[in-house]
């Protein structure tokens, strides 16, 4: 088998290898940003800029030190709501399980 063929195969595989390396390197700590992507939260939110909804850092700052904030936000993530940040409502996210919502809320509150 000519060496050139192998080099070509490696080049073809490179994007796949890079992708798996990226996932392996991110590990469990990145699970919540990935979950936020998968659940389309990032269509309306970013970590540090207001888009349709408030930035997650603003949310974290607003609720810093408040007891029960994670549960309150988890419920709002699932059911949606309006009036805390303005007149634009967050629609309900019924595909997000309560456990996922809690994870997302805790991740958001941990941002600084």
* Interface ranges with ligand HEC (CB under 6 A): 36, 39-41, 43-45, 52-54, 59, 73, 76-77, 81-86, 88-91, 93, 96, 104, 108
- By beta-carbon proximity to ligand HEC, the closer residue of 65 and 83 is 83
With beta carbons less than 8 A apart as the criterion, state whether 73 and 59 touch: yes
Instruction: State the nearest-atom distance from the C-beta of 3 to ligand HEC, in Å.
Output: 49
Instruction: State the nearest-atom distance from the C-beta of 89 to ligand HEC, in Å.
Output: 6
Long-range CB contacts (within 8 A, 24+) of 15-19: none
d(CA 35, CA 96): 10
d(CA 77, CA 92): 7
- By beta-carbon proximity to ligand HEC, the closer residue of 52 and 64 is 52
- By beta-carbon proximity to ligand HEC, the closer residue of 22 and 80 is 80
- 81: which strand partners? 90
Residue 17 Rama label (left phi>0; alpha psi -120 to 50; beta): alpha
Instruction: State the nearest-atom distance from the C-beta of 10 to ligand HEC, in Å.
Output: 39
Instruction: State the nearest-atom distance from the C-beta of 48 to ligand HEC, in Å.
Output: 14
């Amino acid at each position: 088998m000519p060496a050139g063929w192998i080099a070509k195969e490696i080049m073809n595989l490179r994007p796949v290898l890079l992708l798996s390396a990226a996932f392996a390197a991110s590990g469990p700590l990145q699970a919540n940003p990935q979950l936020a992507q998968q659940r389309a939260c990032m269509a309306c939110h970013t970590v540090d800029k207001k888009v349709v909804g408030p930035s997650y850092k603003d949310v974290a700052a607003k609720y810093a030190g408040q007891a029960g904030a994670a549960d309150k936000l988890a419920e709002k993530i699932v059911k949606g709501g309006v009036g805390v940040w303005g007149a634009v409502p967050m629609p309900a996210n019924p595909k997000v399980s309560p456990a996922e919502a809690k994870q997302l809320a805790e991740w958001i509150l941990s941002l600084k």
